Structure 1
């Protein structure tokens, strides 16, 4: 009887953890879809709402490290000054890995389809749950 009770408790805890993980993963996938939609509207400010609005936000790209939300937005505006440069964004999410209750790690590929020439690369993101909301705290895109 005790063994059966223990087994039932383990199954319940496993199911609860799995459900929480899939809920978090779905929220993160929705966050990335929000980014795609904002980008494809040409709305960099809306795109940036998925990032941590902090001076501690870290963005690593081909020109090195940029710190802070404002610096990252300015960098995007400089690199993508108009909708022709922005093109149409799509993501191929390769992995969403929950590191803890507060952190998730995402690896994927980004693609821009543009009239001036398509480009693509890979990214890895570290997300943190802050005040019940997942935000990107570190972005390494190449």
Structure 2
């Protein structure tokens, strides 16, 4: 019995570390988004999204389907660095839905000379071929 308890206690830190690895990777993905946006680089920003026609982005005008359509909307809404401003995220929740799928809720804020924007987002992020990608984004 003592041996079993010892093995359970020994394994507990490794289980906690494994649970944190996806969260660290997802935080890194969001940090990459922030850095790319703040450099005015929409192409690099979009590498965090699943490059698929099945990507869904839901914004104030409703759903957009597909990676290219999402990029086109970003380019139309944010044609230059003045319109883009400086992006900041605040993660409120990060919950695993499966070992390779996470649900993330947070706040976003754009500081801009033409007027700040802010809102909330919910993301579904999935590990695809070893990389974490946003497969669904609802930002309002």
TM-score interval (norm. to shorter): over 0.9
- CA distance in 2: counterparts of 1:53 and 1:4, whole angstroms: 51
Residues 1:77 and 2:96 aligned together: no
Q: Aligned match of 2:30 in 32, 39, 51? A: 32
- CA distance in 2: counterparts of 1:57 and 1:9, whole angstroms: 43
Any unmatched runs of 5+ in structure 1? none
- CA distance in 2: counterparts of 1:135 and 1:16, whole angstroms: 25
Aligned to 2:104: 106
Across the aligned residues of Structure 1 and Structure 2, the Cα RMSD in angstroms comes to 1.1
Any unmatched runs of 5+ in structure 2? none
Runs of 4+ in structure 1 deviating by more than 6 angstroms, as ranges, are none
- CA distance in 1: counterparts of 2:34 and 2:72, whole angstroms: 18
Aligned to 2:5: 7
- CA distance in 2: counterparts of 1:9 and 1:68, whole angstroms: 47
- CA distance in 1: counterparts of 2:95 and 2:39, whole angstroms: 29
Instruction: Give the TM-score normalised by the residue count of structure 2.
Output: 0.95
- Tell me by how many angstroms 1:15 deviates: 2.6
- Tell me by how many angstroms 1:13 deviates: 4.1
Summarize the alignment of residues 31-110 of structure 1 with structure 2, pairs less than 5 Å apart: 31-110=29-108
- CA distance in 2: counterparts of 1:9 and 1:124, whole angstroms: 38
Instruction: Give the TM-score normalised by the residue count of structure 1.
Output: 0.93
- CA distance in 2: counterparts of 1:131 and 1:11, whole angstroms: 33
- CA distance in 2: counterparts of 1:123 and 1:17, whole angstroms: 29
Secondary structure of the 2:69 match is helix
- CA distance in 2: counterparts of 1:10 and 1:64, whole angstroms: 48
